[in-house]
Structure 1
Amino acid sequence: MSDACTSEPARAIKAIDKHSVHQICSGQVVLTLATAVKELVENSVDAGATNIDVRLKECGAELVEVSDNGKGVEEANFEGLTLKHHTSKLRDFSDLIHVETFGFRGEALSSLCALSNLSVVTCHESSQVGTKLVFDHKGHLVQQSPNPRQQGTTVSLQQLFYTLPVRHKEFQRNIKKEYAKMIHVLQSYCIISTGVRITCSNQNGQGKRSTVLSTSGSQSMRDNIGAIFGPKQLQSLLPFQQVSPAENVIEEYGLKDADLPKQLFTITGFVSRGDHGVGRSATDRQFFFINNRPCDPLKVTKLVNEVYHMYNRHQYPFVALNIAVASECVDVNVTPDKRQIFLQEEKLLLAILKTSLINMYEAGVNKISLNYTPTPSTNTTTSEICQVVSSNDKVPEPGEEPVRQTPKSSLNLAGLKAAFSSSSFSSSSGIKSSVTKASNCAPTQKTLQSFFKGTVKAS
């Protein structure tokens, strides 16, 4: 070891000054454009807003602005609005167990002050006129002036991350990726926020402002999915049907049936059908929620994709699943962005999910893909044969949406044998005459003829 390393005197341990602490911590709370928009949208939902408008300039590099029609901020709360760990949602740590709001740490606005130029225009439900508030990087209120506005709040962030030069440069260099991630996160809030109309628009340069996504404030998750991704996406989805975990799955996860809590989880939502062609080439449309809170449950995500690949090997499903569970069984205070969540009885949840998904997909696989029912009549008519051969699409059940046609190759040989095993085919001549009658049917009859010829020769 060199003398240079050992000769330096020990330095005294001292507290970091508050401003430096604020900057250090803020950079860990708001990491991306997606996090910044998420925090502002959550504040709007928590304020009881039914209309939220996200406006961006240059994909968020110049300006991020979120407006709502929520309750607004009371004058008494103006100064505490952007101070570190100031919140109206918690009083002590025990409140965290039953917190039902998205935000509760009192860090978001404070951190955004440290990372950008932040201003707020708000009008509380009890006020006659709005107020514009300008804050410095420490979260201190430096300017206050009357500003006309209807009830609600608008938060504007200019030059996000410009106080952190390295991150700002990286942010601007990767703005398209940042923007795409933000849209995905915003989509999750659009799906789960029923009764809330969310719109997002962007303006590049002096060009026209374009709407990126919008919902209509529907009370249904299904309608929200349709508003964001269109009716074609809706047609490919199955409503999730929850069942109790099967015995073999319980054993697989090392659970004891007798000790399993009943009715702990309630899972609702939608997943893609298992047919090839209705899935997606990537996991870009997968949204998971626990108690209506968007999150990233890694084991749940992995399981859903694994089960889907049992039925559709080359694609990934669209997923929007909300898992309802007692609040005391969840810890949402794991990471600053609250995307990671700890769950009690996670293995039970996985067992329920696996059994339910397999049941749903097996039901689809086992549906008879022939519009044919064997009849007791002794004469099989030409029209019956034509119907069996040419009609190979799945029969929708009552209340179920029509299912897309399956490829002709999916006709099962055993199914064909069963379909043509009536008494009229007991003799070779019967087979030959029926084939002759059917020769005027669709071109697919060629394969049937060869099938019957093979049967005749074998007999």
Structure 2
Amino acid sequence: MANVDQPKIQGLPEEVRNVICNAQVVTTLAGAGRELIDNAIDAGATNIEIRLTENGVDILEVIDNGRGIDEQNFEFLAKKHCTSKFRDMKDFDNLDTFGFRGEALNALATFSKVIITTKTQAAPTATRLTFNLSNIEKKEKTAGKIGTSVAIHELFRTLPVRRHELSKNTKKEFVKLINTIQAFAFARPDIKFTCSNVIKGKKNPVLSTPGGKATLKDAISTIFGFRAEKDNLLQIFDTLPDSQIRKYCNITAGGDRQFEVLQIQGYISSTESGLGSHAPDRQFIFVNKRHVDYPEASKVINELYRAHNKNRYALYVLFVTVHPCEVHSFGLL
């Protein structure tokens, strides 16, 4: 029998490996926005502005008034697995930052043009860094306030198929990004969020929250234009279940532990006629202030709500708080 040539297994070039791996880190416009806003919050920002051009397809820029980036850290920016927020495996149990992997900027710089402008309080001027892949291509001094701006030009430009999908579904992806920004605004009502979108040269305001001493209820009212006064929004308090609920949920003796280590707070719309939402797009669940997709909980909430208001979906913003090391034991993430 003739020998059949077998393809030789060989390692991929580093450039190809980087593109393949990084394409899995940031997969959507909303994902890119989330990573940049994570970094802004971790930098202590109290004002975060999101500027979009053509729904974010051309430019996605996040500007914050945080601490800025010290010059000694410039060489590590956009480098894979370089982060200031994580040191070893023990940190997994006590993470209190949003970003920590050190992969997002590296990924974005691999398949987009990235320009970072930053200034610390100690720096006399701001610095603008232009990246080529994960390397600084140009470094120049410029005018600027304390904080950081990260501008992503032509997201996914080195990934033709994904770039085409983003351009084709621009409105759908834009809505997902705005949903992500809204989630951040609920998680941090003390931060002022603003978002604008330039379409064909015209700047359009998209979102603005008060920040400062604003409460979660203020943020819900501002973003949804929802009448938060009176009983339109019902506040959810964390409390141990009474005897009737214990019996209904079959909670046995000693079963209180889950209620002691897991707390739930937030707001939900009243079941009165005319309240709630026409679609399930105003529903937000957070675990330790991070927005999560929790379809099982959403299904239960909607079923209970529609039993009393059958033509509407619940509007809710719920926060689950649990120690970081307990998150997976509750199946929350």
Q: TM-score range by the shorter chain?
A: over 0.9
Match in the other structure for 2:153? 158
Q: Deviations over 1:319-369 (max 9, x none)?
A: 101111112212xxxxxxxxxxx3x245xx9xxxxxxxxxxxxxxxxxxxx
Contact 1:250 1:257 in 2 (8 A): no
> Offset at 1:134?
0.9
Structure with greater Cα Rg: 1
> Offset at 1:14?
2.8
Alignment of 1:85-100 (within 5 A): 85-100=81-96
- Please report the TM-score for the alignment, with normalisation by the length of structure 2: 0.93
Q: Deviations over 1:146-170 (max 9, x none)?
A: 1111110001111111111111111
**SS at structure 2 position matched to 1:21:** helix
Q: Does structure 1 residue 264 correspond to structure 2 residue 258?
A: no
Q: Does structure 1 residue 33 correspond to structure 2 residue 29?
A: yes
Aligned residue identity for 1:14: Q
CA–CA distance in structure 2, aligned partners of residues 19 and 260 of structure 1? 53
Contact 2:217 2:228 in 1 (8 A): no
Contact 1:47 1:70 in 2 (8 A): yes
CA–CA distance in structure 2, aligned partners of residues 275 and 28 of structure 1? 44
Aligned residue identity for 2:277: R
Contact 1:226 1:234 in 2 (8 A): no
Match in the other structure for 1:226? 221
CA–CA distance in structure 2, aligned partners of residues 255 and 18 of structure 1? 55
> Offset at 1:294?
1.1
Which consecutive residues of structure 1, in runs of 5 or more, have no partner in the other structure?
A: 331-341, 350-459
Q: Does structure 1 residue 46 correspond to structure 2 residue 42?
A: yes
The match for 1:177 among 161, 172, 175 is 172
Match in the other structure for 1:440? none
CA–CA distance in structure 1, aligned partners of residues 314 and 96 of structure 2? 29
Higher relative contact order (CA 8 A, sep 6+): 2
Return closer, same or farther for 1:216/1:300 CA change in 2, 3 Å cut-off: same
Aligned residue identity for 2:25: V
> Offset at 1:214?
0.6
Alignment of 1:91-110 (within 5 A): 91-110=87-106
Aligned residue identity for 2:209: T
- Percent sequence identity is 36
Q: Deviations over 1:362-382 (max 9, x none)?
A: xxxxxxxxxxxxxxxxxxxxx
CA–CA distance in structure 1, aligned partners of residues 84 and 263 of structure 2? 30
CA–CA distance in structure 2, aligned partners of residues 231 and 249 of structure 1? 31
> Offset at 1:258?
1.8
Higher strand share: 2
Match in the other structure for 2:58? 62
Match in the other structure for 1:424? none
Which consecutive residues of structure 2, in runs of 5 or more, have no partner in the other structure?
A: none
CA–CA distance in structure 2, aligned partners of residues 234 and 285 of structure 1? 18
**SS at structure 2 position matched to 1:133:** strand
> Offset at 1:98?
0.5
Contact 1:52 1:67 in 2 (8 A): yes
> Offset at 1:251?
6.1
**SS at structure 2 position matched to 1:82:** coil
The match for 1:306 among 303, 311, 317 is 303
CA–CA distance in structure 1, aligned partners of residues 69 and 216 of structure 2? 29
**SS at structure 2 position matched to 1:102:** coil
Q: Deviations over 1:258-312 (max 9, x none)?
A: 2431521221110010112101121110111111111112222222112212211
